Structure 1
Amino acid sequence: MYALYYSPGTASFVVHWLLIEMGIEHELRPVDMEARAHKNAEYLALNPNGVVPTLIVDGQPRYEAAGLAMFLADRHPQAGLAPALDDPQRAEYNQWMFNLANTLQSPLRLWWYPWDLQAGDEAVRAGAQTRIEATCERLDAQLAKQGPYLLGERLSAADFYLTMLMRWTRKMPRPAHDWPHLGAFAQRMKARPSFAAVYEREGLTEWA
């Protein structure tokens, strides 16, 4: 059984969602971010980055949301959420996972936590917004050309990851769901029973 250290709506969301989607037995261990429990010595011994998620796998702590999503999809192939290593679409799948981490999650973190750069908050947010909107433009074009999912007809862990990141844009001047094909994609993903389940378990209501 897995144990997931999580905080509602954070990067742990995609790992929690996939555990539910795949029907994998797991234990939830909440991390009180407001009390800065993610920065105490006990938690840092599990995850030296001091962020969530951390997933206990066979007694060992593992972290990085995108990496954990890929790990779970590979370790549980019966769920069909990752092309096999010898599948022609594997390279494309890997590409999307890393692309989302670098071109969407990275600037989204700057949007939400601009003070991390110790620079002017508004300038950081403006730069992050430009990058995020450019990425949304490319993703929307991809879905228009080859949808309904990032790998075409094939649902993968990358789609769950993208949906989580789209949720993070909900309070931006132009949220990701404002692009037509991304909006339709989000509605399709949010219609999955596992989405309602993770929302209920994490006590979330926004962007339902």
Structure 2
Amino acid sequence: MHTLYYAPGAASMAVHWLLLELGLPHQLVSVDLEAGEQKRPEYLALNPNGVVPTLLIDGTAHGEAAALMLHLADSHPGAGLAPAPDSSRRAEFLQWMFHMANAVQPLFRQWWYPHEPAGANHADAVRAHAEPRIAAEWDRLDRHLADSGPWLLGRSLSAADFYLAMLVRWSRKMQRPGTQWSHLAALAGKLKSRPSYAVLRDREGLDEW
């Protein structure tokens, strides 16, 4: 049994989605980010970074969305959501997972919490700097999907696509959301049509995008 500490639509969303896609028994524990529950001592004892997700696996707490998705996909190879370690596609898969974790997701952190890197007085400037950089990432990803899609690994759906769809959703309130890139929109649309997303949407109370 897995226990996922989550907040609706946050980085925990992709882990929750993968748990549902894989059909894994799990429990959910809601963390109210606005109330600051992620900074309370009892939560910091599980996740010292004070963020979601935290996933208890056999009673042991683990964090970092990308790492958790890799672990879940690798632990259930029959689902085909990650190339095997000896596969020729493994390096490409890892490349996309780490690129989104290290290059794309941090830009959204800046956009959603612009006071963190520069203080409240510079929030507008931080967002003005982050948004075109996110658009540049969409340009790159959309070109890749156009040339080699429909998924990041070509014809093979992987955990990386679920991760990307979550990030596209995060852009829904920007002046130019990711769904304005046709191939990104197609990828997100295909994933939203999966039964696992319908359950995820209902459980987390997600709005349409």
How big is the shift at 1:157?
A: 0.2
Structure 1 runs of 4+ aligned residues shifted over 2 Å read none
Query: Secondary structure at the residue paired with 2:173?
Result: coil
Equivalent position of 2:137 in the other structure: 135
Equivalent position of 1:196 in the other structure: 198
Letter in 2 for 1:180: S
How many residues end up aligned between the 2 structures?
207
Equivalent position of 1:146 in the other structure: 148
Equivalent position of 1:77 in the other structure: 77
Query: Secondary structure at the residue paired with 2:84?
Result: coil
Bigger mean CA deviation after superposition, 14-23 or 111-120: 111-120
User: 1:2·1:26 contact (CA, 8 Å) conserved in 2?
Assistant: yes
Letter in 2 for 1:123: A
Letter in 2 for 1:129: E
Please say if 1:99 is aligned against 2:99. Answer: yes
TM score, norm. by length of structure 2: 0.97
Query: Secondary structure at the residue paired with 2:101?
Result: helix
User: 2:5·2:28 contact (CA, 8 Å) conserved in 1?
Assistant: yes
Q: Structure 1 vs Structure 2: percent identity of aligned residues?
A: 58
How big is the shift at 1:103?
A: 2.1
Ranges in structure 1 where 5+ consecutive residues have no aligned partner: none
Q: How many angstroms apart in 2 are the aligned matches of 1:175 and 1:145?
A: 21
- 1:1-208 equivalences in 2 (<5 Å): 1-119=1-119, 120-207=122-209
Partner deviation per Cα, 1:140-191 (whole Å, 9 max, x = no partner)? 0000000000000000000000000000000001100101111111111111
RMSD across aligned positions (CA):
0.8
Q: How many angstroms apart in 2 are the aligned matches of 1:102 and 1:206?
A: 27
User: 2:3·2:27 contact (CA, 8 Å) conserved in 1?
Assistant: yes
Ranges in structure 2 where 5+ consecutive residues have no aligned partner: none
Query: Secondary structure at the residue paired with 2:52?
Result: coil
